[in-house]
Amino acid sequence: MAYKDFRDFLDTLKKEGQILTIEDEVMPEPDLGSAGRAINNVSDKSPALLFTNIHGYNNAKVAMNVIGSWPNHALMMGLPKNTPVKEQFFEFARRWDNYPVPVERMDSAPFQEVVVNEDVNLFDILPLFRLNQYDGGFYIDKACVISRDPSDPDNFGKQNVGIYRIQVKGKDSLGIQPVPQHDIAIHFRLAEERGENLPVALAIGCEPVITTMAGAPIGYDQSEYEMAGAIQGEPYKVFTLPGTNLDVPWGAEVILEGEILAGVREFEGPFGEFTGHYSGGRRMPEIRIKRVYHRKNPIFEHLYIGMPWTETDYMVGVNTCVPIYQQLKEAFPNEIVAVNAMYTHGLVAIVSTKKRYGGFAKAVGMRTLTTPHGLGYCKLVIVVDETVDPFNLPQVMWALSTKMHPAHDVIILPDMSVMPLDPGANPPGITHKMILDATTPVAPETRGHYSQPLDSPVATEKWEKIFQDLLKN
Amino acid sequence: MTTCPRCDSTEAQMVAESPVKGAWTVYSCPVCFYTWRSTEDEKFTDPAKYEPAFKVRQEDIPNATVVPAIAQRIK
Ligand SMILES: [Zn+2]
């Protein structure tokens, strides 16, 4: 089942009791950013937030934390809201294998209701606000940014949908952070080499599946739209923006159309990041916006980002685990059981695996480091037995505390690659990495006293079912 | 023109006024691109009270790291 658009998903959240509408007047600063932070502090089952009365605005609506909890993530996939995280992971991986699902092309889109062709002032169109105290300005931080490969413009798969941090720097100008690992950085480099600007569209307020895919590390020539189709189980609806070759999500609330300017870098930042630290200020590319489309009274979707856990961590949690899992299974199809790479976008990853022979788990750890995502993340890989649930941290701690021998099971690899935002990297982009083998030694490794593992009493599963039924209501 | 609380340039300009008249004004600095709203705490609007660790020196801006590097033009 698919959500038609952003409002359709908000309606579902309402029916499921997973959205809180705040009708009391709030200040743009510091209330919106503070509320976005606070809702993740109080629970991991927290609702989305919809603010409908923002000081100084007439009809502005701001939605936050839309995918910011496990129940909301489950609802994104059309699953019951109490689906355990591990089940969400396996269901996401199962649907991932249905890629690609071709898109459905639409002739018109709801956001064509209002078109602004001249004198664009983003401050008037969007209820912008400062999120964290020392952010350099007001950001758009959950827009799907769409661009095409200028060297292969007809290749639908190479069209990219990604989420990047975007600072509103003037009435019609934005700063964008495309770090070199991002697909849009490849598009922009190809355009810049030709001396051309790169056309882009920003879609704000989309249904949550495309937002989730835009934040997923999929292949360069894989289409986020065709993957969204696989995840939602039906073709994704797109609309080609008039006068461009950019396909945008049909249901978006707001579309900003413009170009990234070749040869231009201007000061941007700092911005509070998912690492729990500010990024520092750097000179980054500029986008000039020339046209805006929006629904009447559009809803501005935003997310809080900062020290985990925030909506960002729920949004990129499962969609980071699944590609690493798929890539590890290509190498070791009969052994890999599950991957939990949800900690600070996978800077820490936990892999559950069977073993072929002594030393095997360490090889699984090494392979994790060399997956595409591992190259920039996976600073610490913990490998656990197939009987340990990597999503159950107390079990992982038990494995570390009983199976790991510091003299044999700690591998440190010097000066490996990591994404430059890792505040511990030195220089930026370089860090040592570590594998902790917390699996039970197998032959020819015979150390330790592991021959008498403790089983649960035989009727435990039966009693689990009994208690689950008794406790259901 | 007004003074930027972050980099002390005197070129900051009004970029928006609240749709509800008189509620607030948004200013933006064309030198360091700091943007602020008149209703924010004076820690974010007063050049003398802006957190020193987050101040930006105008002379440092041209030397800030460029991300990504500007691609060489290929004919
Ligand atoms: Zn300034």
* A151 close contact with B: CB closer than 8 A: no
Residue spans of chain A under pLDDT 70: 473
Q: How far A54 CA lies from chain B's nearest CA (Å)? A: 10
Task: Name the residue among A273, A217, A266 with its Cα closest to residue A428.
Answer: A273
Whether residue A242 contacts residue A219, with contact meaning beta carbons closer than 8 Å, is answered with no
CA distances to A273, A387, A398, A463, A468 from A460, rounded to whole Å, are 44, 16, 20, 5, 12
Whether residue A254 contacts residue A79, with contact meaning beta carbons closer than 8 Å, is answered with no
**Dist CA A262 CA A196 (whole Å):** 6
Task: Name the residue among A18, A9, A19, A13 with its Cα closest to residue A51.
Answer: A19
B71 and A189: CB-CB below 8 Å?
yes
Is residue B42 classed exposed, middle or buried when 0-12, 13-18 and 19+ CB atoms within 10 A define those classes? exposed
A267 and B33: CB-CB below 8 Å?
yes
Q: How far A279 CA lies from chain B's nearest CA (Å)? A: 11
The DSSP call for residue B22 is T
As averages over each run of 10 residues, the pLDDT of chain B (75 residues) reads: 96 96 97 98 97 97 94 88
Model pLDDT, residue A188: 97
Model pLDDT, residue A473: 62
Is A273 an annotated catalytic residue?
yes
SS (H, E, C) chain A: CCCCCHHHHHHHHHHCCCEEEECCCECHHHHHHHHHHHHHHHCCCCCEEEECCECCCCCCEEEECCCCCHHHHHHHCCCCCCCCHHHHHHHHHHHHCCCCCCCEECCCCHHHHEEECCCCCHHHHCCCCCCCCCCCCEEECCCEEEECCCCCCCCCCCCEEEECCEEECCCCEEEECCCCCCHHHHHHHHHHHCCCCEEEEEEECCCHHHHHHHCCCCCCCCCHHHHHHHHHCCCCEEEECCCCCCEEECCCCEEEEEEECCCCCEEECCCECCCCCECCCEEECEEEEEEEEECCCCEEEECCCCCCCCHHHHHHHHHHHHHHHHHHHHHCCCCEEEEEEEECCCCEEEEEECCCCCCHHHHHHHHHHCCHHHHHCCCEEEEEECCCCCCCHHHHHHHHHHHCCCCCCEEEEEEEECCCCCCCCCCCCEEEEEEEEECCCCCCCCCCCCCCCCCCCCCHHHHHHHHHHHCCC
B56 and A267: CB-CB below 8 Å?
yes
Model pLDDT, residue A414: 98
Q: Which of B33, B41, B63 to mutate to test the interface with A (most CBs of A within 10 A)?
A: B33
From the list A56, A270, A285, the residue facing B18 with the nearest CB is A56
Model pLDDT, residue A302: 98
* Ligand 1: centre distance to CA A422 (Å): 27
* Ligand 1: centre distance to CA B30 (Å): 7
Model pLDDT, residue A238: 98
Complex-level ipTM beyond the 0.90 threshold:
yes
Q: Is B33 helix (H, G, I), strand (E, B) or coil?
A: coil
* Ligand 1: centre distance to CA B61 (Å): 10
* A57 close contact with B: CB closer than 8 A: yes
pLDDT digits (tens, 9 = 90+) for A211-258: 999 999 888 999 999 999 999 999 999 999 999 999 999 999 999 999
Model pLDDT, residue A370: 95
Task: Name the residue among A215, A121, A112 with its Cα closest to residue A161.
Answer: A215
pLDDT digits (tens, 9 = 90+) for A338-389: 999 999 999 999 999 999 999 999 999 999 999 989 999 999 999 999 999 9
Contacts B18 to A, Cβ<8 Å: 55-57
A281 and B40: CB-CB below 8 Å?
no
Q: How many CB atoms lie within 10 A of CB A45?
A: 12
Model pLDDT, residue A420: 85
* Ligand 1: centre distance to CA A277 (Å): 21
Model pLDDT, residue A468: 86
Size of the A and B interface in Cβ pairs below 8 Å: 120
Q: How far B57 CA lies from chain A's nearest CA (Å)? A: 11
Q: How far B19 CA lies from chain A's nearest CA (Å)? A: 5
B35 and A138: CB-CB below 8 Å?
yes
Contacts B65 to A, Cβ<8 Å: 282-283
From the list B20, B30, B51, the residue facing A56 with the nearest CB is B20
pLDDT digits (tens, 9 = 90+) for A31-71: 999 999 999 999 989 999 999 999 999 999 999 999 999 99
Name the active-site residue from A268, A273, A301, A445: A273
